[in-house]
Amino acid sequence: MTLSPVSRRALLAATALVLVLMYAPLLVVVANSFNPDPSMTWPPDGFTTQWWVRAFHSAGARDAVLTSVEVALASTAVALVLGTLMAFALQRFRFFGRNTVNLLVILPIALPGIVTGVALNNAFRGILAIELGVATLVVAHATFCIVTVFNNVVARLRRMGGNLEEASADLGAGLWTTFRLVTFPQLRSALLAGGLLAFALSFDEIIVTTFTAGPGTTTLPIWILNNLFRPNQAPVVAVVAVVLIVVSVVPIWIAQRIAGEAETVR
Amino acid sequence: MTQPTAPTATAPSSGTGAVARRASSFLATRPRLRLGLLLSAPLTWLVLVYVVALAALLVTALWSVDAFTGEIDRGLTLDNLREVATESLYRTVTLRTLGVAALVTVIDVAIALPIAFYMAKVASPRARRLLVVAVLTPLWASYLVKAFAWRSLLSEGGLVDWVLNPFGAHSPGYGLTAVVMTQAYIWLPYVILPIFAGMERVPDSLLEAAGDLGASAGTTVRTVVMPLLLPAVVAGSIFSFSLTLGDYISVNIVGGANQMLGNLVYTNVGAANNLPLAAAIALVPIVIMLGYLAAVRRTGALDNL
């Protein structure tokens, strides 16, 4: 197929336009974090760093970040273990009900967030009568983080094949030795990519979180939501937003370096 | 990736190895047992946490709440389901939610197709890598940051007003239009990526063959690219459709007084303290989504998720 120069240029223009539309809102947030007018009219009529100073002295924001990191680390740890076990089971074995199990793994992200949220809220509060808090939040987050680790490990296992492991077994290594010396080193970057994604997913999640966190637990997204509608807090939220945008570049950079291709970064 | 060389296995004479070796050789001849051990932990977790919770949700929808005490009455009744099925409020909100989700999906797919095509088939490999990074980066930026960005863009005197005012137009303000714009923006990368991955799998040789046989670019896209791309497009649409269906936060942020299904669920879990009714309402998106998944299963889209 040969594209005419006109359609080629039209495609390029469309791509460029969409990229501009993708980034403009984020840049506006950056600009607004320096906007002296708290109602954030455009264009900004000056430059101030007062919101940045206020944000850095906000104990609420700092505590929320710590809570979010704690929850995200715990969920990621659970997801790494469960997602990897699941990936080995589904990639290396053929068994009855395999498709159903596969569907079960993707269901927590395939079903809308409110469904997962209200189902878990009902199970914790209505059925088990457990107090909502960090623990229930970790259980909820880990459940939908499993699939990101699972996807990355399955993709890697598929590419690895079983030759090296068979060779290792033929040379007399047991299952554990083979896993430690042959399988794991090849999996490491997939685990890192999957773990990063799980961490980011948990850190950012708001819908399931509002149903499973309980009143005493404030993650960063909940803090943002609580402060969004307060007249003088909106620019402080903008500052936190800018910090989040900047921080989120780090995992992409790492993921790109270790993975090198798009398929493992999802 | 460079192929790592296999390290030589440690000699079996290392001290602690006796038990491990026996366990290992025991397991080596029993693949079913290995499978069982692998599956036990994750399957237990998913069944206990998720399947049981979903099943409990179905049962809870059949319970009711005592109007005076606020206690849950575990006697079975179809009242909640009947209310959700017949009250006009739920029908209106369901249709509104479906409409927003469908519109967001159509917009996102329409935007994603040319971009993904350009990325996969036109751009040079170097530009392609950069474009993938450029599309991925907003994916990592926080959901709330994006909704918040649109709140300030669409506000009175915001950027959209500033751009449109010279043409005599105004920002749509907070409302359903704003919800569609914001959702379409937020979920766009989730739609571009699977479609791009699908586009990359379309062999160049097929496109060349179509061209050699005299097909125009348009015909090639219509008769060769699109059929091969369908599973990827459907996979992308699952993301945008499901994510929009279950969203109630951005409606709060840019939707003005409008409600989506999620708002009704949230109100009944929280302020109204009526879990059984919330469960009954939550069945609506579950049924819609399961219907959607069942309808698209044949396209093979689920393997593209």
CB distance from B9 to chain A under 8 Å? yes
* A203: nearest Cα among A60, A55, A67, A61: A67
Model's pTM, two decimal places? 0.84
* A5: nearest Cα among B11, B126, B217, B180: B217
Cis omega (within 30 of 0) for bond into A43: yes
Architecture of domain B88-304 in CATH?
Orthogonal Bundle (1.10)
Amino acid symbol at A141: H
Residue A112 makes CB contacts below 8 A (sequence gap 6+) with B242, B243, B245, B246, B247, B262, B285, B289
* Token reading at B210: 């179509």
- List, in sequence order, every residue forming a beta bridge with B72; answer none if it has no partner: B65
Residue A253 makes CB contacts below 8 A (sequence gap 6+) with none
CB distance from B55 to chain A under 8 Å? no
- Residue B264: half-sphere exposure toward Cβ, Cα within 13 Å: 25
Cα-based distances in Å from A221 to A66, A237, B116, B165, B169: 12, 10, 31, 33, 34
* Token reading at B62: 């059949």
Shortest distance between the Cα of A187 and any Cα of chain B, in A, equals 11
Cβ atoms A108, B50 nearer than 8 A: yes
**pLDDT single digits (tens) B43-67:** 999 999 899 999 999 998 888 887 7
**pLDDT single digits (tens) A208-246:** 999 999 888 999 999 998 888 887 888 888 898 888 878
Cβ atoms A21, A236 nearer than 8 A: no
Q: Out of A14, A41, A176, whose CB is closest to B114?
A: A14
Nearest CA in chain B to A91: B35
Instruction: Report the C-alpha gap between A206 and A245 in whole angstroms.
Output: 17
**Is residue B64 helix, strand or coil?**
strand
Nearest CA in chain B to A183: B6
pLDDT at B23: 81
pLDDT at B12: 46
pLDDT > 60? residue B68: yes
Nearest CA in chain B to A151: B305
Q: Out of A24, A146, A204, whose CB is closest to B42?
A: A146
Eight-state DSSP code of residue B48: I
Cα-based distances in Å from A222 to A203, B139, B161, B229: 11, 19, 29, 38
Cβ atoms B282, B265 nearer than 8 A: yes
Low-confidence stretches of chain A (pLDDT < 70) are 1-2, 252, 255-266
8 Å CB contact of A40 and B152: yes
**Is residue B54 helix, strand or coil?**
helix
**Is residue B92 helix, strand or coil?**
helix
User: Chain-wide mean pLDDT for chain B?
Assistant: 85
- Note which residues in 169-198 of chain A have CB less than 8 A from chain B: 169, 171-178, 181-182, 185-186
pLDDT > 70? residue B3: no
Alpha helices by DSSP H, listed for A122-183, are: 134-160, 163-170, 175-178
Angle of the B31-45 helix axis to the A134-160 helix axis, nearest 10: 150
CB distance from A77 to chain B under 8 Å? no
Domain boundaries, chain B: 88-304
- Note which residues in 102-141 of chain B have CB less than 8 A from chain A: 111, 114-115, 117-119, 122, 131-138, 140-141
Answer with the residue of higher pLDDT: B110 or A166. B110
Cα-based distances in Å from B222 to A3, B119, B216: 14, 18, 10
Q: Given 1.10.645.10, 1.10.760.10, 1.10.3720.10, 3.40.190.10, which CATH number is that of A62-264?
A: 1.10.3720.10
pLDDT at A17: 93
**pLDDT single digits (tens) B169-188:** 888 888 999 999 999 999 99
pLDDT at B24: 80
Q: What ipTM score was computed for the predicted complex, to two decimals?
A: 0.82
Cβ atoms A194, A80 nearer than 8 A: yes
Instruction: Report the C-alpha gap between A97 and B242 in whole angstroms.
Output: 25
